[in-house]
Amino acid sequence: MGLELTFKDWTSKSQTIMTSPAPPSSASSIRILPEVIGRGRLEARALIAGFHGIGATGYWTVKYLIQELKARRICYIDSEFAPAVSSTVKNEISTPYELFGVEDLVFLKAEVPPLRENETRFFRELSQWIMGSGIQEVTLIGGLDETLRSDDSKYRLVLTDSMKAGEHGRGLEAEPILEEGRMIVGPVAVMLNQFQMRGYPAAAILSYSNTERIDPRAAAAAVEFIAKRYALKVNTEPLIKGAEDLEKELVGLAQKEKDKGGPSGAVYS
């Protein structure tokens, strides 16, 4: 069958190929494990990625989608720039960066950010690997300061030139686009720049989010967009309920502070 297996082949065989070791690459800090996947092509329709940022919107959106769609882990992303962090999920070790798959979609779960001084190089190299992996397009997810909202939109989009052209941009013509002069920072900015300069189709959905706390409502807006874009059935009710419960809790804390005569902003410290 060779290395030109399709993404579905990878997911169906993940239980048998997850044992192959991989030597470090001299050209990049990025290593895809098992080695057979790193040297092959995923041939996936899209990769969806989100990171820690405003409202932790990207991180929680991806984590929620993986959970709701029951996506399977297909490989690990190793790098000398990966932080020294490990955790467990469902009695299995969870490493900092992993790819999960369901049908023809791939999800990048970034559990923790790289150290600040390594962030730009890490995400530049990750972008370069993605562009050569066989993945057809990328959707990035981030948060956008809700105080910048000028209408009733739940989010704004940013599109590379290649995303706007041809089939990749189909269905995005009427979507709200980020206004000129707004600054994007962090991993989403690094990856968007790489994709734009190299003519690769990519989009970023930036959900309006609270800048002081985790915002499940912003994650719900991103999930709804992803579900519509890629014809997925995902229930966002748990996210909305989580947002409502959190908002009630914050109101209660604010009232307690008011009753004690403390500063109303203390609930966000």
pTM (two decimals): 0.82
pLDDT of 259 higher than 80: no
Residue 41: what pLDDT? 84
pLDDT of 252 higher than 80: no
pLDDT band, residue 262 (cuts 50/70/90): low
Share of the chain above pLDDT 70, in %: 83
Phi-psi region of 43 (alpha: psi -120 to 50; beta: other; left: phi over 0): left
The pLDDT tens digits for 47-103 are 999 999 899 999 999 999 999 999 999 999 999 998 899 999 889 999 999 999 999
Residue 9: what pLDDT? 54
Cα→Cα distances 267→76, 221, 246, 248, Å: 38, 25, 12, 12
Residue 253 DSSP SS3: helix
Residue 141: what pLDDT? 97
- Angle of CA points 15, 77, 27, to nearest 5°: 125
Residue 90: what pLDDT? 87
Closest alpha carbon to 63 in 240, 228, 195, 216:
216
Contact (CB, 8 A) for 140 and 195: no
Worst-scoring range by mean pLDDT, 94-103, 133-142, 225-234, 252-261?
252-261
Query: Helix H segments across 86-186?
Result: 119-131, 161-164
